[in-house]
Structure 1
Amino acid sequence: MKKYLTFMLLLSVGCAASVQQKVKTVMDKYAKVNFEDGIDLKDAEIIAQRALAKQNLADRYDIEQPQIVRDIAELPNHEKHWFFSFKENGFSSIEYVFMVVVEKETGKVKFADDIQEDKKWILEAALLK
C-alpha cells in the first residue's frame, strides 16, 4: 500500500509538472504573437491556448490539441472570428469542450468557457454582445 501511494504521488507530481511546462510553452509562443497585422490561424490557435491556460483548465482539457471549429455558419458574424474547441482529458457522463472565439482583426478573445458541444446558442449570445 505504501508503494502504491508513493507511486501515485510521484505520478501526480509528474503530471502537474508536465501541465506547467505545456502552459509555459503556450505563454512563450503568445509573447511572440504580432497583433498589428491581423490574426492568422496559427496566431489565433496560440491565443486560444492562452485563454484556456488563463482559466487554469490546462489539466482538464487538452491544451496541445486545439481543434478549429468549422460548422459555425449559422452563428452571427462568424466570418470575423476564429473558433476553437479543446476536448476534455478523460471521460465524463456529460461531454464538455472548452470553446474559444477569437476576433480575426484584433486577436481579442470574444468567448472562452466550457460548454456542451451541442449548446452553440451560447456562442450566438456571446457574438451578439
Structure 2
Amino acid sequence: MVDKIVKSDAEWRAQLSDLAYKVTRKAGTERAFTNDNYPKAAGMFHCVCCDAPLFDANAKFDSGTGWPSFYQPANGDAVEEHEDNGWFMRRTEVLCARCDAHLGHVFNDGPQPTGLRYCMNGAAMTFQQENDD
C-alpha cells in the first residue's frame, strides 16, 4: 500500500507549471511531440507532483505517437489504473499511485514482453539520470 499525498488545489497550482497542473490535476493531455525530449540515458522517470518513481528508462520505447511510451511501470505499486469512458472512448487511465496525478493512458498495442503501451504525458514527469558512480 502506498502512502497517499493529498494537497489542496491551491497548493498544487502553486507547485506546478500551468501545463503540468492542467495535465496532472485536471486530466488534460499535452499536444503530441511537445514533451518527449528526454535524454536516452539510464535513469528513472518520476511524478512531477510528488517525485514518486514511475517508469525506468529501460522500459521506454519509441511508439511514434509523440508521447513518452513505456511497456511497464517501474514496479507494481508505482501507478494505478482506472476505466476512463471520456471523449466517447473506452480507455484505461493511468494515475500516480502516490498522489493521484493523471499521467496518461495504457493500451494493449505495445511491444513485448508485456504487449502494453503506457502512453504518458511528458509534462507529468521529470527525468533523473542514473549516476555512473
Q: State the TM-score, normalized to the length of structure 1.
A: 0.29
- More helix by proportion, 1 or 2? 1
Greater relative contact order: 1 or 2 (C-alpha under 8 angstroms, separation 6 or more)? Answer: 2
- More strand by proportion, 1 or 2? 2
Q: State the TM-score, normalized to the length of structure 2.
A: 0.29
